[in-house]
Chains A and B, each alone.
Chain A
Amino acid sequence: MSVRGVLRAMPTMLRVGFAESVAYRAEMFVWVLSTTMPLVNMVLWMAVAKHSPVGQYGQADFVSYFLATFAVRQLTSAWAAWIINWEVKQGTLAMRLLRPISPLWAYMFDNIAGFPLRLVVAVPVVVLSVVLVGADKAVPQHAWQWGLFLLAVLGGWAITFLANVAMGALSLFTDSSQKTMEVWMVLFFVCSGYMYPVELLPDGLRAVINWLPFRYQMGLPVELMTGAHDLPTALGLLARQWAWVLGMGTLALGIWKYGVRRFAAFGG
């Protein structure tokens, strides 16, 4: 499939995906409600910071941090691993493989098409954050900060999506991909800044986390949204993030190509 072919198919696939996301809007809303973890942690940290700030975070900082986390989680979530797993088990992947366009594009457009509806959830939360703690803490202040933030969200989504593809593709030749996903989720919860700002961890741990992909999925976009970094630091972290996007992309495509060959051998 050439690049031109993909571009020709893209608008249609996005339209179909968007129509689907609107059709199942109630279901999506329930999924959104089930990501309350940032709010659970927000109340904990608010209680902790009640009398004195933790590190450089006071109560208002925690509110803006976790509301941003909630919003970023909506925008960067991917569920391709579950879909691939399910389609492999059902055997419907074979039908997708017959089409003249790689299934990976389909998963990707499906994910992107849900974006407008997710914005509908994320934007009010950001507005709420602005109301509660003021615009200077809740959202980027300058044009360059907005630019870097959007780049970080895109990178965060790309890492999440590609990691999903890699784990989903594992199900083509092992039956332990579900467990891999669970371990990934645990690491994501602990290392990504989803439960607490990474800045609060001891230096040694933080150095390790900076080499792992998880912080770039969640922590970095959130930090850029709340304006936690100056320009050089932000650029350095963004460079690492996109290095991970490339690395994860290579890994995902490698596993996928190998897995599809195996899958064809089973069905053929």
Chain B
Amino acid sequence: MLRRYLRLFGVQLKASTLQALQYRVDFFTEGFTSLCWTFTALAPLFVVYGGRPEVEGWSFGQALLVVGWFTLLQGILEGAINPSLTGVVEHIRKGTLDFVLLKPADAQFLVSTQRFLPWRAFNVLTGVGLFFYAFSLLGHGPSPLGVLTSLVLLGTSTLLLYSLWILTVSAAFFVVRVDNLTYLFSSIFDFARWPSSVFKGVARGALTLVFTYVIPLALMTTFPAEAMLGRLPLTSLLGAVVGSLVFSWVARRVWIRSIGHYTSASS
């Protein structure tokens, strides 16, 4: 069963890659725009840290790690998650989702892997570049354990991002115009740009709670950055792993219920 799905995944990925290889120049234009957007993410930090050494316990180099994770996850979001799921919205609108549902494989798996944009993943490289820059500023490398932990958290973050997306797309079964929901989602994700402790001063810390437990943005960027710095408590790590599994389970249930709401083109 698992082998069959891995093979399917390979086939889907290959199809997308072949398509991307036809537009090789895109690699450079995407790279250029990725660097431009990264600059906009960094600009406020340069202005902030121009005047003071640290904000809420984060120095410039440490805050850079958070921006690095933000950029890296943005690459995963735009390269691997977004393209497929915007396709779902299109399917629902046109009524072609029937063809997906009829195929002898899990519908969620099929729609999640239908399209990848490899060039969009340039942000992942930019993110890694930011890590190197940040650690060169900090004057020391990450501990091996820290790297290992952050890799585990990369997995949980991706899972969280994907689950949040599945929840967003499930809404498409109830309200059909969802193409701008993608923008809405990206703009909520923008809150993950800064270390989550900067939200402490707003609404008596209510925002920090929301971004940790309701919309787990802190888990995605701040936790991995802290893990790299070797200052993430073990409980938080466990919390992230358990939390992301619970979150993906919930997303899965919601997806299955929403599919039940799908009225096909013919009925």
Contacts and interface: CB of A to CB of B under 8 A. Distances in A.
A87 B33 CA distance: 24
B36 interface: yes
B202 A43 contact: yes
Contact of A201 (B37, B47, B55, B187): B47
A36 B188 contact: yes
Given A189-B43, A190-B39, A179 B184 contact: no
B58 to A, nearest CB: 9
Interface residues of A, number: 31
A48 interface: yes
Contact of B194 (A27, A30, A43, A186): A43
B200 interface: yes
B191 interface: yes
B184 A40 contact: no
B135 interface: no
Nearest to A33: B184
B55 to A, nearest CB: 5
Contact of A46 (B39, B52, B201): B201
A31 B190 CA distance: 15
Contacts of A34: 180, 183-184, 186-187
B29 interface: yes
B47 A200 contact: yes
A30 B187 CA distance: 11
B110 interface: no
A268 to B, nearest CB: 30
Interface in B157-186: 175, 177, 180-181, 183-184, 186
B202 A30 contact: no
B44 interface: yes
B231 to A, nearest CB: 19
A50 B201 contact: yes
A44 B190 contact: no
Contacts of B199: 43, 47
Nearest to B52: A48
B207 interface: yes
Contacts of A190: 39-40, 43
A88 B249 CA distance: 44
A30 B180 contact: yes
B106 interface: no
Interface in B175-223: 175, 177, 180-181, 183-184, 186-188, 190-191, 193-194, 197-202, 207
B64 to A, nearest CB: 14
A29 to B, nearest CB: 10
Contacts of A47: 55-56, 194, 197-201
B191 A41 contact: no
B242 interface: no
Nearest to B203: A43
Nearest to B199: A43
Nearest to A30: B180
B15 interface: no
B190 A36 contact: yes
B184 A30 contact: yes
A195 interface: yes
Contacts of A54: 48, 51-52
A45 B182 CA distance: 27
Given A48-B48, A182-B33, A43 B187 contact: no
Contacts of B47: 196, 200-201
Interface string A158-173: 0000000000000000
Nearest to A182: B33
B36 A30 contact: no
Contacts of A189: 40, 43
Contacts of A37: 187, 190
A41 B33 contact: no
A46 B175 CA distance: 36
A182 B36 contact: yes
Contacts of B191: 36, 40, 43
Given A43-B194, A44-B193, 13 more contacts: A30-B183, A33-B184, A34-B184, A40-B193, A43-B202, A44-B55, A44-B194, A46-B198, A179-B33, A186-B40, A196-B43, A196-B47, A196-B48
| 3 interchain residue pairs of minimum CB distance | A47-B198, A34-B183, A186-B36
21 contacts: A26-B175, A27-B177, A30-B180, A30-B183, A30-B184, A33-B187, A34-B187, A37-B187, A40-B190, A43-B202, A44-B44, A47-B56, A47-B198, A47-B201, A48-B55, A179-B29, A179-B33, A183-B36, A189-B43, A196-B47, A196-B48
